Structure formats: C-alpha cells, structure tokens
Amino acid sequence: MATIRTFSLSLTWHSVISRRTMATSSTNPQPLKGITVVSLEQAVAAPFCTRQLADQGARVIKVERAGVGDFARGYDTRVNGLASHFVWINRSKESLALDLKNPKDHDVLLRLLSRADVLVQNLAPGASARLGLSHEALKGKHPSLISEAGLVSVTGSKEEPAKVGISIADISAGMYAYTNILTALMQRAKDGIGRKIDISMLESMVEWMGFPLYYTYDKAPPPARAGASHAAIYPYGLFETGDGRQVMLGMQNEREWKIFCEKVLHKTELVTDFRFVSNTLRTQNRNDLKNIICESFSTVGAEEVIALLEEAQIANAKVNTMHYVWEHPQLKARERWTQIQTPAGDVPALLPPGFSAEQDASWLRPVPRVGEHNDSILKELGVTETIQKRRLD
C-alpha cells in the first residue's frame, strides 16, 4: 500500500498526500497531471479548493452521498435545471457515489485512498473521526502523513450591516487550502516529508480583515460602515452622474487627488482647500466633498465621466449588473470564455485566472452526474461484484 500524508482544513477537512514521486510529463503542460485527489466534499469551501486543483490537471474524485449527492446540487435550478453553485465549482471532477456507513462502500474509499495523493474533506465536526478518516487514524496506517471573523461589522451602510453577496468565507478558506496543497506538494518533491496543515474559515477571514483589525489597534474606534465607500480613503466609492447612472472611483495618494481636481473636476482650487489637503481631512469632510463631486458630475453622463477618469488615470469602474458581466467586452476581448459540458448540456465557463487564452480549454472537463464514474473507478480498484448496485446516477 502506498504511504499517504494528510493535512487538515477548516471544519475538520483533511488532506492526504502520498510520498509517491509526482508524475511529470514533458509533453503534457498540465502542472498537476498525475496527482490524484479524493474529496469528501459538500457546499462551497472544499469544492472550490478542489476545482482549482482539477483545473490545473489533477484527477479529482468527488465522493458524494449515495442517491442525492452533494446537497449543493439542490441549491437552485438556474442553469438549465442545475444549481448555479454546483456548476461553478464542480467541473473537471469525477463523481463516485458511496454510502460510507456501508462497510463495503467504506472499504472502497480506503482502497481509493491507498492510491491517492490528496484527501480533502469538509464533513461535519466529528464525522471524519467516526469514519476512521481523521489525521490521527490515517497516520497510523500511513506514517508519512501530510495528512464568524467580524466581516459584517464593516460591511453595509451606516444604518445597517450587510452580508457579502458571495460565499466569501468559504472561498477564502478554499483558496488558502488550494495554495497550501500546492506548497505541500512542492515541499514533498524536495524532501519527501509530509506535513499536517490546518486551515479554518475563521483564520482565513481574519487574515483578510487585516486592515480593520489594525485600524482598531490599541482599542481605537472601528472603521465606520460606509457602503460602497472606503472607511479610511476618500474620494472612494459610488458617485451619481447626470444620466441617472453611477460610477465607481477611488484614489489613494496626493498626486492622484491633484490630477482628479485638475483634469476631472476642473476645480484646481480644491487642491489647496483646507478641508481636503490630506486624505485624513478628505475622509473627515467626505460629505462636503461628495456634494462637490456629484454637483460636478451632474451635468455629464457616466460614459463621459469614465472617459475623464481614464484620461487622468484614476481607478474607476462602471457599476455593472450580472447581466452586463456576461457581455463584458474585456472578457470577450481577452478570450476568457469557453464551454463546459454538464448533465443538462453545454454552458459557458470562464477560463481560470492565470490561464492564457492560448492554453487548451480541454483542461476543463465536464460537471459530473451523481455517481457518473462509479463503474470506471470501482473497476479500477478491482471491485466488480457490486458495481451495478452502487450505480446511483
């Protein structure tokens, strides 16, 4: 049996990385080709992590509940009857449907782990131990084992806090899991030694909350919720234009402030106005400054304002709806769209950040049905007598 390493992640995730030498191929550009990942995953965090690995060529075997699969499959039906979350983070994977309370199915998982490089799991606390999949249980058989953060308090308007519109805690933990897996694989290639890694959603989000955390250093008052604005930088945020639209802009130094006054507002006197001569004063007097900016923008449309900001090289953005993003000209110009297969037909998909448009989009493989790969995986493991009973797709 191959030796295995594990590392643990948030919500009792574990990853197991074997000491086998990574397979490499000079003819295949996929950097993680030859790495096998087994994932007992659900919801967002772990699937988001393993999708990154799959997009880079790793073989990801997604172990799902027999019959129903990952409960995220039922979040909604927006993508031709499939769930939007699921389509987003589960492409390029194989689905193996098992009932892990069934001893035979549990044995299938253990056989699979003997061939795996990585085990990722985000089961409920204590579930991994009950299934014999904790770091402590696995490292005995495989001695080379690698085996709420305050966000809402600074998000929202002055009157009311608000949650972020995406699963930001899951995504942050998933990305830290992904980068730590890559780091562990790189270190293993150097010394052949495994390690345990432990990542939590709390710690991931606290890392991202570093600015407001230090802003309150030594019991200083916290940053005020400022909607789309910034608590400590101004001008920064949404500003209305004469055609009823809004533009987003922001500047971070005195050079940009001077250019903004001269080339965008055409009010050079503001550069030396005592209320606005530093970022601290502009932030303290933001209401006065916002009125001046909006008055200046009230006679022009959003496109003209953006043109002025572009010419002045001031950071800016249109306020886009999701429908607009589907048609975003920059995404089209940079050839960021491809197609992926799903059980409900082909759908558009963005190439992962960092993929060049020249890279082969065939790296991105289909979104699987529940148990779609039971036959092939069980046959690979030499388990043939109950294949038909375990087919649950």
Selection from 138, 165, 163, 134 nearest residue 151 by Cα: 163
Structural domains of the chain sorted by starting position, each given as residue range(s) with its CATH number in brackets: 6-205+370-390 (3.40.50.10540), 236-319 (3.30.1540.10), 334-361 (no CATH)
Collapsed DSSP state (helix, strand, coil) of residue 377: helix
Read off the pLDDT of residues 136-173 as tens digits, 9 standing for 90 and up. Answer: 777 666 555 457 455 545 566 666 555 567 788 888 88
CA triple 134-72-58, angle to 5 deg = 60
Binned at pLDDT 50, 70 and 90, residue 114 comes out as confident
Instruction: Report whether 16 contacts 147 (CB < 8 A).
Output: yes
pLDDT tens-place string over residues 242-296: 999 889 999 878 999 999 999 999 999 999 999 999 988 998 999 999 999 999 9
The share of the chain scoring above pLDDT 70, in percent, equals 80
- Return d(Cα 116, Cα 59) in angstroms, integer: 10
93 contacts 54 by C-beta, under 8 angstroms: yes
Q: DSSP code of 370?
A: T
Report the alpha-carbon distance of residue 276 to residue 289 in Å, rounded: 8
Do 373 and 61 meet the contact criterion of CB atoms below 8 Å apart? yes
The pLDDT tens digits for 336-368 are: 888 999 999 999 998 888 777 666 677 889 999
**Looking up tokens 């409920």, which residue turns up?**
124
Phi, psi (degrees; rounded to nearest 5) at 154? -115, 10
Query: With bands split at pLDDT 50, 70 and 90, how would you rate the model's confidence at 386?
Result: low
Nearest to 367 by CA among 380, 349, 353: 349
Query: What's the rounded mean pLDDT across residues 58-85?
Result: 92
pTM of the model: 0.74
Would you put residue 146 in left (φ > 0), alpha (ψ -120 to 50) or beta? alpha
Write down the pLDDT at residue 389. 52
Characterize the bridge pairing of strands 246-250 and 315-318. Answer: antiparallel
- pLDDT of 123 reads 80
